[in-house]
Amino acid sequence: MTRLTSQILLLWRHRLVRRNIRILGQFLLILAVMVVVYSLLFHYIMLAEGREHSFLTGFYWTLTVMSTLGFGDITFNSDLGRMFSLVVLLSGIALLLVLLPFTFIQFFYAPWMEAQAKARAPRELPASTQGHVILIHYGPMAAALISRLRQYQYDYVLIVPNLDEALQLHDMGLQVMLGDLDNPETYRLARAPQAAMVVTMAPDVVSTNVAFTVREVAPEVPIIATVLDSTSKTVLELAGCNHVLQIGELMGETLARRTIGGDAVTHVIGEVKDLCIAEANATRTPLVGKTLRENQLANLGVSVVGVWERGRFEIAGPDTVIGPSTVLVLAGSRQQLQAYDEEFVIYNVSDAPVILIGAGRVGRATARALEARGIDYRVIDRQPRPQIPPEKFILGNAADEEVLKQAGIEEAPAVLITTHDDDVNIYLTLLLRHMRPQMQIICRSTLERNVSTMHRAGADFVLSSSMMAANMIMNLLKRANVLMVAEGLNIVSMPVPPSLAGKKLAQTSIREETGCRVIAVVEHGKMRVNPDPHLPLPADAQILIIGTVEAEEKFLEKYAKGAKGAVG
């Protein structure tokens, strides 16, 4: 009831609506006057016929005739009376049965419905709105991002150009705003200048126009775009985007990085001044089956900050056991990483190519990333792909055993399934796991909800494009200049928090309590990589910590409330 009252009030406030209702009122007044005049005429014509009826009867007769009910209990006998009856009947049909419903729909019902729709899909946000995220284009990536935004309690609005779509999305529980994507007014009304970020996930050409249009009203707001085509990156940057995420390329790089190919050496994934973060496969090295303490890697100078185990990152401790498919995350200087390579270059060397299923955008990006890493590969696809060197390409169905054999399934250390069809990927994962129980299977998932199904089907590592894009955007949102070294893994630099100043790292339980690790200390511009845990942390120094987004939050909460990190 309150909702209805508020909607009527809202309706009344609108000038056009007020005018419509006035017209409706006038129409009803004319109708009332006609009824009164007909009632009076009824009375006098009846008197002329020698009968007398009350005024109420006249009113009753007029309405029954006008509404075409015509009970027939009171009728005229004279021609004049019958002529009058016809006039009343015809004007009744015209006014009550035709004009009244149309007028009601036109001037009251339709505006009321419209007002109701506007309440669900407004055309503007309140002027006080700020710190919100403006999203363009709804799809799996936006859905994943919205769930993260809710998790971290960020306000957001999804701008939709079409009312039906807007209402549909509103009914799905999303915050929507109606507006044309190429109209600067839309972004002014979405309060873009006060927004924390604008994220466009629309097709590349639409995103270009969006970026341009947003820049017209909000020169400062960070704009993030996701693109499919690598050539669009430059165009989007020219249009004013601060970050352009090439999801296909990033997926390819990440999938290739997780591949246990033919080596055990370090692969640098991020650098901050002298500090390098690298990954190295532990497969077929003497490290397997032992704890980090037993492996004594500290003698090489590097520090194992964490391990990837079936796609999950865990901060490493002295008791972490290295498994046959563990990927180590190492921190150290270039020289320290070289010392590691010298020690491990002889292990896990294999010339057997890895198999790549699917040569679409992600598949081709993966092939390029494997090429860059020096890992040999064979590609299987159902349609000819001239972009892949012919000697590396096998045309056929990856579910066909002969095709898989031709690609070298019996020897391949790993297979990467990169098609965009999650059903196909789950099917192939099950099939390949059955054929080769020990092989590494890396799988792409389009929808986040299929990740766990793929793990259950036997995949060692699953990467969802929507999840990856959402995590990257969240990282950019939370700290504009954090260094993301791997999916969900960050390096953050910050001044030594007062609660840690003067303390020795060995005395703290940062790793146990937060899941973060201090990997470098920067004092007077000089960086100490893997600092001695027995030296006190200087109050005026910077520290670099590594950890997942959640771990980093725990660290900030415990040691540096209110501090903002940045890559130093």
Full DSSP string of 455-477:
HHHT-SEEEEHHHHHHHHHHHHH
Q: Are 511 and 317 in contact (CB under 8 A)?
A: yes
Instruction: Please report, as a single letter, which amino acid is at residue 493.
Output: S
Q: Which is nearer to other proteins, 413 or 458 (CB)?
A: 413
Q: Is 491 exposed, middle or buried (0-12, 13-18, 19+ CB in 10 A)?
A: buried
Specify the stretch interacting with other proteins by CB under 8 A; choose among 184-192, 285-293, 362-370, 446-454. 285-293
Q: Are the C-beta atoms of residues 466 and 140 closer than 8 Å to each other?
A: yes
Nearest to other proteins of 208, 348 (CB atom): 348
Phi first, then psi: give them for residue 264, nearest 5 degrees: -130, 15
CB of 285 to other proteins, least distance (A): 7
> Does 284 participate in binding other proteins (rule CB under 8 A)?
yes
- Of positions 175, 285, 465, 548, contacts other proteins by CB under 8 A: 285
Q: In 344-427, which ranges are E strands?
A: 354-357, 377-381, 393-395, 414-417
Task: Tell me which residue of 46, 78, 48 sits closest to 62, measured CA to CA.
Answer: 46
For other proteins, the closer of residues 174 and 330 by Cβ is: 330
DSSP string over 476-544:
HHH-TT-EEEETTEEEEEEEPPTTTTT-BGGG--HHHHHS-EEEEEEETTEEEES--TTSBPPTT-EEE
Of 295 and 425, the one with the shorter C-beta distance to other proteins is 295
Q: How far is the CB of 295 from other proteins (least distance, A)?
A: 8
Closer to other proteins by Cβ: residue 259 or 475: 259
Contact letters (x/-) for other proteins, 43-72, by CB under 8 A?
Answer: ------------------------------
Residue closer to other proteins (CB basis): 52 or 351: 351
Residues numbered 365 to 404 that lie near other proteins (CB under 8 A) are: none
As to burial, measured by CB atoms within 10 angstroms (0-12 exposed, 13-18 middle, 19+ buried), residue 47 is: exposed
Between residues 293 and 434, which has the closer beta carbon with respect to other proteins?
A: 293
Instruction: Please give the Cα distance from 327 to 544 (Å, whole number).
Output: 22
CB of 368 to other proteins, least distance (A): 22
> Per-residue x/- marks for other proteins, 207-246, CB under 8 A?
----------------------------------------
CB of 300 to other proteins, least distance (A): 9
Q: Which stretch binds other proteins (CB under 8 A): 18-26, 50-58, 278-286, 439-447?
A: 278-286
Stretch that binds other proteins, among 124-132, 258-266, 307-315, 522-530 (CB under 8 A): 258-266
Q: Which of 248, 262, 270, 531 binds other proteins (CB under 8 A)?
A: 262
Distance in Å, CB of 195 to other proteins, minimum: 50
Cα(292)–Cα(304) distance, integer angstroms: 8
Q: How far is the CB of 390 from other proteins (least distance, A)?
A: 20
* Shortest Cβ 342–other proteins spacing (Å): 5
Residues with Cβ within 8 Å of 27's Cβ and at least 6 positions away in sequence, in order, are 99, 100, 103
Closest distance to other proteins from the beta carbon of 278 (Å)? 14
Kindly tell me which of 285 and 429 has the beta carbon lying closer to other proteins.
285
**In 105-223, where does DSSP find H-type helix?**
110-120, 140-151, 163-171, 184-189, 204-217
Cβ proximity to other proteins, 30 vs 345, nearer residue? 345
Residue 255 and residue 268 in contact, taking contact as beta carbons nearer than 8 Å = no
175 in contact with other proteins (CB under 8 A): no
Q: Kindly give the pairing relationship between strand 542-548 and strand 267-272.
A: unpaired
Taking residues 531 to 560 in sequence order and writing x for each that binds other proteins by CB under 8 A, - otherwise, the string is ------------------------------
Nearer to other proteins, 351 or 512 (CB): 351
Pairing of strands 267-272, 275-281: antiparallel
Q: Which of residues 295-324 bind other proteins (CB under 8 A)?
A: 296, 299
Q: Compute the residue count for the chain.
A: 568
Cβ pair 327, 280 in contact under 8 A = yes
Work out whether 267 is an interface residue with other proteins (CB under 8 A).
Answer: no
Question: C-alpha 319: how far from its chain's center?
Answer: 37
Return the closest-CA partner of residue 300 out of 292, 291, 290, 311.
292
What's the closest the beta carbon of residue 374 comes to other proteins, in angstroms?
Answer: 10
Which residue pairs, CB below 8 angstroms and at least 24 apart, start in 451-460? 453/426, 454/422, 454/425, 454/426, 454/429, 455/310, 455/311, 457/426, 457/429, 457/430, 457/433, 458/429, 458/430, 458/432, 458/433, 459/417, 459/429, 459/433, 460/310, 460/311, 460/325
Among 203, 286, 384, 502, binds other proteins (CB under 8 A): 286
Considering only the stretches 21-29, 175-183, 260-268, 468-476, report the one whose residues sit in contact with other proteins under the rule CB under 8 A: 260-268
Nearest-approach distance from CB 416 to other proteins, in angstroms: 21
Tell me how far apart the alpha carbons of residues 315 and 532 are, in angstroms, rounded to a whole number.
18
CB atoms within 10 A of CB 372: 12
CA distance 256 to 88: 84
Q: How many chain residues are in contact with other proteins, going by CB under 8 A?
A: 21
Closest separation in Å from C-beta 376 to other proteins? 11
Rounded Cα gap, residues 559 and 546, in angstroms: 15
Please say which residue, 60 or 347, places its beta carbon nearer to other proteins.
Answer: 347
Instruction: Output 30 or 346, the one with its CB closest to other proteins.
Output: 346
Nearest distance from residue 445's CB to other proteins, in Å?
33
**Residue placing its CB nearer to other proteins in the complex, 295 or 450:** 295
Instruction: Convert residues 329-358 into a mask of x (bound to other proteins by CB under 8 A) and - (unbound).
Output: ---------xx-xxx-xxx-xxx-------
Q: Which is nearer to other proteins, 341 or 523 (CB)?
A: 341
Q: Where do contacts with other proteins occur on this chain (CB under 8 A)?
A: 262-263, 265, 284-288, 296, 299, 338-339, 341-343, 345-347, 349-351
